[in-house]
Amino acid sequence: MFPMNFNRSIDIEEPVVIPPPPSPFDFKNKVIIITGACSGIGAAAAMEFAKWGGLLTVVGRNKENLRVVADKVIDVHDHSPLIVHADMTKDEEVRHIVEKTIATYGRIDVLVNSASVIEIGSIETTTMAQYDRVMDVNIRAVFQLTSLAVPYLIETKGSIVNVSSVSGLRSIPGVIVYNLSKAALDQFTRCIAVELAQKGVRCNSVNPVVDVIDIQKNDDLDNEAYENWLVHSKTTHALGRKGLEDEVAGVIAFLASSMANSITGASLPVDGGRHAMCPR
């Protein structure tokens, strides 16, 4: 037996700590405008970008809800977002979104067009007032806000993400004008992508399922009917469920991030496979 030497020191090499690579979702010091941020996908997108360090302009009509979202952003990012109350049907208020953002931050890196409305009705029952309301918010306001933001997005080589719908890809009965508006939004996405590609600006859309958005709960669809819609969705979605706002928000952040540098002009379904299925 060899005598044990308790005085012998053993040299142990310190482990090499390799720092993690920078996250492609790093939006630190990036300025993001999000419309429709009072609830639903817009609110979820605000939380997603805040998580990755984004400087936010949150836009909406409901002052109380918008303040709640802003407070949640502060909890996540210790950053007080710029709050802009705006009616997207009023040109002057849409202009103020860009003016106030530039006055506060001096730049725009990402525009998320999430504000949207829906009207229940067919070709037999839809009024022209309903038509105008949907088209004014879902298309006209998007066109105006995007055109105002584009010069600043060109400066930053920024990105646009439009929140469309599976209704832009498939014809959903009973919401004819909403279908039309979202199909137009997808075409708008492709047009902007082609026009601005050489200037370094990308434009894509996400196409979630209609019932993922709070706007579906309006006066024409009571709680019981809405719950029945959700139950029915188990058979109309390949994954057997509707999408979640957080899931859609994650895809929005992906499309705005450097991970998607080669993606533009895309309409990406985030709908549990609804777009791939036949009607039932």
Return the active site residues. 178
| CA contacts within 13 A on the Cβ side of 92 | 0
List the one residue out of 69, 22, 16, 64 whose CA is nearest residue 45: 69
DSSP 8-class letter at 278: -
Neighbours of 122 (CB within 10 A): 11
Q: Which of 170, 279, 171, 174 lies closest to 235, judged by CA?
A: 279
Residue-wise DSSP of 143-207: HHHHHHHHHHHHHHT-EEEEE--GGGTS--TTBHHHHHHHHHHHHHHHHHHHHHGGGT-EEEEEE
